[in-house]
């Protein structure tokens, strides 16, 4: 009970770094926007952030990945489908970014040439 009282008396900033690490690591999908927005409220305590991320990796995401690997290992088609899904996700993630860069560079070159 004393531990709960001590946690309640801690300032929010002390728990913020750890909880940011946990929420960032446990997030599904694109994590870079979360990482980008994490510092909007001010500086983040890096050691606590790293501790939260590592704790979540060891207790949640790593066991899930190991279990999926164990279950899918005997099935070659499942592994192929998983590889294709990851490749498609990367194309969907990076494709629009490279398209926007291409258009911006093309417009910049076109503006300087004419």
- To 5 degrees, how large is the angle CA 46–CA 52–CA 57? 125
pLDDT in tens, 8-52: 455 555 557 888 888 888 887 767 777 777 777 778 888 998 999
Write down the pLDDT at residue 14: 52
Q: Is the pLDDT of residue 91 over 60?
A: yes
Q: Is the pLDDT of residue 55 over 50?
A: yes
Write down the pLDDT at residue 99: 85
Structure tokens at 2: 């004393």
Q: Where are the alpha helices (DSSP H) in the chain?
A: 2-9, 12-26, 32-37, 46-56, 62-72, 76-113
Write down the pLDDT at residue 58: 94
Shortest CA distance to 49 belongs to which of 27, 84, 20?
Answer: 20
């Amino acid at each position: 009970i004393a531990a709960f009282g001590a946690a309640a008396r801690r300032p929010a900033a002390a728990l913020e770094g750890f909880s940011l690490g946990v929420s960032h690591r446990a997030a599904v999908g694109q994590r870079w926007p979360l990482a980008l927005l994490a510092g909007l409220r001010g500086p983040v305590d890096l050691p606590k952030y790293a501790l939260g991320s590592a704790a979540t990796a060891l207790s949640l995401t790593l066991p899930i990945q190991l279990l999926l690997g164990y279950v899918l290992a005997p099935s070659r088609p499942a592994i192929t489908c998983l590889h294709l899904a990851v490749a498609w996700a990367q194309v969907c993630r990076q494709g629009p970014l490279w398209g926007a860069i291409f258009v911006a560079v093309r417009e910049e070159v076109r503006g300087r040439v004419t």
